[in-house]
Amino acid sequence: MDDLQFEQWEMGIYEDAIETWGRQAQMMKAAEELCELAAAINRLLCCEESGYRSHEDVLAELMEEWADVEIMLNQLHVMIEMDDETYVGKLQALEEKIKKAREKLG
């Protein structure tokens, strides 16, 4: 499958999911998956400090949640068109924060 075929297949799945379960349900699912990713990140950080679970097991769990989030974010892209101005503005703000943090660190 080439890149174009993959993209068409992927978009079809996102559109089918939205059509099947509806916009509201998919937005709620996106919020749920984001929370699960946040929890997985916290578990990874705790795992590194406590050694309670193996790093590999917790990292594998994080990757599963990350994939779920990527899929839901892509569905959000299908449902809501983010304007470039908002996205670029956020990138510029991040760039400025990085610059200030580096200046502070010396």
Residue pLDDT, tens place only, 90-105: 999 999 999 999 999 9
Number of domains making up the chain: 1
Print the domain residue range for 80: 3-105
- The CA distance from 34 to 76, in Å, is 12
- The CA distance from 103 to 106, in Å, is 5
Q: Is 59 within 8 Å of 44 (Cβ atoms)? A: yes
* Of residues 42 and 31, more confidently modeled: 31
Rounded to two decimals, what is the model's pTM? Answer: 0.85
Question: Residue 39: what are its φ and ψ, rounded to 5°?
Answer: -65, -40
